[in-house]
Amino acid sequence: MHLPDLKEARKRTKEKVIEKKVEYTFPNVFVGKKYFLRTYGCQMNMHDSEEIRNYLELLGFTETLVLEESDLVVLNTCAIRENAHDKVFGYLGRCKHLKREKPDLLIAVGGCMSQEESVILEIKEKHPYVDIVFGTHNISDLPRLILENKKKQEIEVYSIEGDVYEGIEYSRDSKITAWVNIMYGCDKFCTYCIVPYTRGKQRSRKLEAIVSEVEELKQKGYKEVTLLGQNVNAYGKDLTFVYDFKDLLECVAKTGMERIRFVTSHPWDFTEEMIDTIATYENIMPYIHLPLQSGSDKVLKQMGRRYTKREYLTLFQKIKERIPNVSITTDIIVGFPNETESDFLDTLDVVNTCQFDSAFTFIYSPREGTPASLIEDTIPMEEKEERLQRLNQLVNQYSLENNKRLEGKVVPVLVLGENSKDKNKIYGYTDTMKLININGSKDLIGKIVNVEITDAKSFSLDGVVAKESVGN
């Protein structure tokens, strides 16, 4: 497999990121004990929970999906919006009541919320029954914190970052698809976003380590990997080596992994070379999540997004023109402080122009410690809610129209499992990342098959298996 000329690059440069190897030497002392793990937030948190799950199982715990059966509760939290904060503390109330019945119950809180000083103070003052608090930079310390816990509150959260951990083992949710971290943190500092403060500065993993992980997953029979980062397009910018995201995509594609995806992209870093690389390799899926956030140049500038409405639309059009059959989804925030009706109409104009396949839409949620949280906001919540409703109606309209165009067509689908509501059906995702429910045999789970689309809804498709499969 071809790689960039890394030896020559190393002769001229020095690596800035500190690599650390995770050690797995934990005593198996909790056999017969059960853990309950609850995850909030993004794909990065979901992948972190796969790491947490592996540590707990190495200690001897077995997983339970019933809170009341647990001997250990771990909440892996999200800090991106206020409602996520409220959900966590609401759930802690349930854990508190359970601990009254089971005094030996251990309760641990980790994730992005734990990196916020105000949250730590709140836990100290109002939630003394929480035994362990750990952060995003020291997940690997969780086994030690559990083993050393003396029935008193232990808070160990690092504000430093800069290390990149290699050799991490995971207890993965799936045997078919897998997350692969390519970087940690973010350097963009959008004014509304807490991520750079909870996840730290951008730190990219070395290309060889990522490719090696993908090759190992392929050998284990995985059909799809998703490359993860807060801003995958910026991959490599913090390294002194001479490779970037397009190089990484090419090298991962050459492993022969059947399906390759990535999230999340930032329009500012999305180069034409990246577009060409995606278009060149058939195993890089024609699906791109491209957050817009707002269609107003004024609001985009206040958000610190570093692109204009015109620049976003130009990029969108290039992607559509060069990548056959591409599906593009987005994120949109309504009600950013002092967003006017004119600003909102600019957003609707972009939605009408792009006609996204789908969109995640949110009302702006101020996060303590971010620049945007200091802006005095004059727009009433009722107006923001009304705008969100108008936006969602438009988004759903285009989602349905895009899906309806697929009726009668045959598309490749990676079958992931049994439909939870109808045991006679299976489900999977198209190459363009559309959920599809299929009348088909459970023997197809884990395979890529041709599916004819028989019906389309706003958020999913229905289909039947065509005569021949695309893969195996």
Please tell me the CATH superfamily of domain 23-156, with its number. Methylthiotransferase, N-terminal domain (3.40.50.12160)
pLDDT at 341: 97
16 pLDDT above the threshold of 60:
no
The whole-number average pLDDT for the span 293-297 is: 98
pLDDT at 469: 56
Closest CA to 412 of 442, 443, 433: 433
pLDDT at 329: 98
pLDDT in tens, 47-77: 999 999 999 999 999 999 999 999 999 999 9
Token pair in block for residue 385: 């809610």
The whole-number average pLDDT for the span 288-300 is: 98
pLDDT confidence tier of residue 81, bands split at 50, 70 and 90: confident
5 pLDDT above the threshold of 80:
no
pLDDT at 165: 78
Least confident of 193-197, 260-264, 271-275, 358-362: 193-197
Please tell me the CATH superfamily of domain 410-469, with its number. Nucleic acid-binding proteins (2.40.50.140)
Closest CA to 190 of 307, 273, 90, 363: 307
The whole-number average pLDDT for the span 151-160 is: 82
Fold of the domain spanning 165-404: pyruvate-formate lyase- activating enzyme (3.80.30)
pLDDT at 162: 62
pLDDT in tens, 428-467: 999 999 999 999 899 999 999 999 999 999 999 999 999 7
pLDDT in tens, 201-210: 899 999 999 9
pLDDT at 333: 98
**Residues 214-244: b if buried by 16+ CB within 10 A, e if exposed:** beebbeeebbbbbbbbbbbbbbbebbebebb
Q: Supply φ then ψ for residue 204, to 5 degrees.
A: -90, 140
User: CA-based angle 22:59:27, to the nearest 5?
Assistant: 80
CA distances from 99 to 68, 71, 342, 378 (A): 10, 10, 52, 43
pLDDT in tens, 315-363: 999 999 999 999 999 999 999 999 999 999 999 999 999 999 999 999 9
Token pair in block for residue 201: 């500065």
Sheet containing 34-39: order of strands: 62-63, 34-39, 72-77, 106-111, 132-134, 154-156
Hey, where are the domains in the chain? 23-156, 165-404, 410-469
